[in-house]
Amino acid sequence: MAKLNQIIAVEKGVKSKSFHDMTEAHRSVQKQALLSGISRTYQPKDEEGEQLPPESTRVQVKAEEVLRETAKTLTRLFDVTATKDWANCLAKADVIVDGQTLVRDVPIPYLLFLEKQLVDLHTFVKKLPVLDSAESWNLDASSDCWKTEAVRTIRTKKVPRNHVKAEATDKHPAQVEVYYEDIPVGYWTTVKFSGALPAKQVNELLGRVEKLQHAVKFAREEANGTDVTDERVGDAIFGYLLG
């Protein structure tokens, strides 16, 4: 008795062959010249007349034969696909992480769905915003987000000052240079807030997603090892169509 994973392995080749054979069959029955034949002989009016050899062209493509071959090819495809789809309805496995069964008797189509969703979720989690490691953060219940300790900084203001480079004389005015001095005028108290997540939390979440991904893949492989019963639906379908 075959396994489901064996049927899945041959399905692609069967599909490819059936597509190729169908394409060739379609092309052949569209060529009128291959479907047509002729046979003709020539007889002169009298014995002295010119003698011409007979002419003939054989029919190279017979639509009836093309139909039979097409039915044969598609019967194989229909049977393989039916065997896989019937088995997919029966093949199930548990999703187990660290010895804990998260979901029981999961059918293969849903396991495939989970695999795709977890790939997207992994990408999403990997790009989650992380708190700046240069700051010290604490969870603030009142704002429901992370915040830093208050930091006090001085606010300064530039005030012009005069620097006398040379005193005035009776012949020259004083030489004065203007410069600016930073004078403290107040204090800023700053608290930073953030809606990002601690790196540890993101890494732990990422690890759980990856564990679940492995568990789902393992479950799918286990389900794919289910014994299958060969389904025979092609004969019934083409027996009706061509009968």
Q: 85-129 pLDDT, tens per residue?
A: 999 989 999 999 999 999 999 999 999 999 999 999 999 999 999
- Helix (H) or strand (E) holding 216, with range, is helix 199-224
Rounded to whole angstroms, the Cα distance separating 69 from 20 reads 12
Number of neighbours of residue 64 by Cβ within 10 angstroms:
8
- Helix (H) or strand (E) holding 181, with range, is strand 175-190
Instruction: Average pLDDT across each block of 10 residues of the chain; the chain has 243 residues. List them in order.
Output: 88 93 90 89 87 90 91 94 92 96 95 96 97 94 94 93 79 82 93 95 97 96 92 93 87
pLDDT of 47 reads 82
DSSP 164: E
pLDDT of 49 reads 86
Rounded to whole angstroms, the Cα distance separating 10 from 112 reads 19
Measured CA distances, 1 to 111, 163, 229 (Å) = 24, 102, 7
pLDDT of 166 reads 75
pLDDT of 162 reads 83
Token pair recorded at residue 6: 């064996």
pLDDT of 48 reads 82
